[in-house]
Amino acid sequence: MPVKAAGNIEKKFTQALSLHRQGSTTEARKLYRSILKSEPHHPEALHFLGFLTHQSGDSEGASKLIRRSIELRPDYADAIKNLGNVLAELEQFEQSADCYRKVIELNPEDPTAFSNLCVALRRLNRLGEAIEAGQTAVRLYPDYMIAWYNLGNAYKVSRQYKKAVESYEKAIKLDPKFSPAHDSRCQSIFRLEKKGFLSRKTWKRSIKAYQHWLECEPDSPVAQFMLSAITGDEELTRAPDDVIRTMFDHFAPNFERRLGQLEYRVPALIGSTLKRTHGEPRAALRVLDGGCGTGLCEPVLKPYASHLTGVDLSAGMLAHAARTQGYDMLVESELTTYLAQQAREFDLAVFSDTLCYFGDLKEVIQASAGALRKGGVILFSVEKIPWKNDAKGFRLHPHGRYSHSQSYVEHTLAAAGFGDVETVEETLRLEIGSDVAGLIVSAKIRRA
């Protein structure tokens, strides 16, 4: 290529990179593509177009572009690192870890490569190696906040909660407004306290941890709610919308993996109950999956549905649910509000592990009654209140979820016009190594 032409391409690349960094992605993309039209083997343009493609949500397309860049420049460490990040997004953690190791070969003093390797190895459940990589990252760069957080996560998953807390505290000292570190620190302290209790649970350290979070972030809805939960706020009758949205947008990328580790059984229990109440599926019902999350119940609901609607407050969860391609409609909405707008729309309304974020069930059950057609069925899970006599019928626990008594659930259903109520006690999942007792409830609307 003539020197002048090469110089023009480099000027164009510099302009494209500047636009990219300023957030002008449309203009940057046009320039990257223009460069590659003139010079298809421009490794930097391929790399940064791939990075931009990843930022736009197309990780598969990004992977192809960045791989082409690395083929042209096998020692292109930044491209290899970003390929590792893209592969991590695609949950290809073995390949992602290989990329970070290659970067470390090229630059043994790169703390970001060690920190990212810590994350990939943790996701592969190779916890000893993950901790070692995280320790190297913070040794190389002691002020690297996200590396301390990633190391804390590796300790937390390996149940070394004391070391996890120490790592999260390092991260918080470096960035007092980094909510994930506060959240994980509070969770780790909660687990330490729960493990250490021999009698009455006072949660002193956990309360102080949430208070410290609020001192750093006074407007954090999660910190406010969890502090209320752990101090036993009797006035709070459901988790606020902004809490649910914030928590589950954060959980969405790892939600199914986390539930798998907890031996989560609710979708299977919903499926077996449906077989008992509805027989073999005939794809004839209008079905609502309320609080659908990432779509874990879609495989058991879809065979019964002529039309399947999923509703959730978390956009992050809905994005994952869309990938199942099983829903006819996905709606971002608060559940009770949505139900109140549906007049006799559904034959079956299912709430899988959703009502544990509601204390008082009256409004959501009443709204469900109005949304069901004649003979329609409501089917849901709740966590079972752990003591026999409770006048209120529901209780908010320090972990931030509600449990309900069987009598309260049955009375609430009857008051809303439901009959043929069936409650079955089941283990829903594990919680810090212990069974979580729950109820799988079904009832039919009584309507002339």
Query: Where exactly are the structural domains of the chain?
Result: 3-177, 254-445
Average pLDDT (213-222) is: 96
What percent of the chain is predicted at pLDDT more than 70?
Answer: 93
Lowest average pLDDT, out of 3-7, 75-79, 359-363, 374-378, goes to 3-7
Instruction: Locate the DSSP E strands across 167-298.
Output: 285-290
What is the CATH architecture of 254-445? 3-Layer(aba) Sandwich (3.40)
6 or 167, greater pLDDT = 167
Per-residue model confidence (pLDDT) at position 51: 93
Average pLDDT (312-324) is: 92
Per-residue model confidence (pLDDT) at position 431: 73
Residue 313 has pLDDT above 70, yes or no: yes
pTM of structure = 0.87
Helix (H) or strand (E) holding 78: helix 77-89
Q: What is the CATH number of domain 3-177?
A: 1.25.40.10
256-310 residue pLDDT tens: 566 555 678 899 999 999 999 999 999 999 999 999 999 999 999 999 999 999 9
Residue 198 has pLDDT above 50, yes or no: no
Residue whose C-alpha is closest to residue 313's, from 321, 325, 324, 304 = 321
Residue whose C-alpha is closest to residue 15's, from 34, 36, 1, 31 = 31
Give buried/exposed letters for 249-282 (b at 16+ CB in 10 A, else e): bbbbeebeeebeeeebbbbebbbebbeeebeebe
334-375 residue pLDDT tens: 999 999 999 999 999 999 999 999 999 999 999 999 999 999
Residue 150 has pLDDT above 70, yes or no: yes
How many angstroms separate the CA atoms of 362 and 411, rounded?
10
Residue whose C-alpha is closest to residue 217's, from 248, 250, 254, 176 = 176
Residue whose C-alpha is closest to residue 255's, from 351, 162, 321 = 321
Lowest average pLDDT, out of 91-100, 242-251, 366-375, goes to 242-251
CA 165 to each of CA 72, 152, 156, 358, 391: distance values in angstroms, whole numbers, following the listed order: 44, 7, 8, 30, 38
Q: Which of helix, strand or coil describes residue 424?
A: strand
Per-residue model confidence (pLDDT) at position 74: 96
Q: What share of the chain is helix, strand, coil (3-state, %, to 5)?
A: 60, 15, 25
- Give 288's strand partners: 309, 349
Confidence of residue 167 (pLDDT cuts 50, 70, 90): very high
Residue 177 has pLDDT above 90, yes or no: yes
Residue whose C-alpha is closest to residue 118's, from 109, 127, 110 = 127
Orientation of helix 59-72 relative to helix 43-55, angle to 10°: 160
- Give 436's strand partners: 429
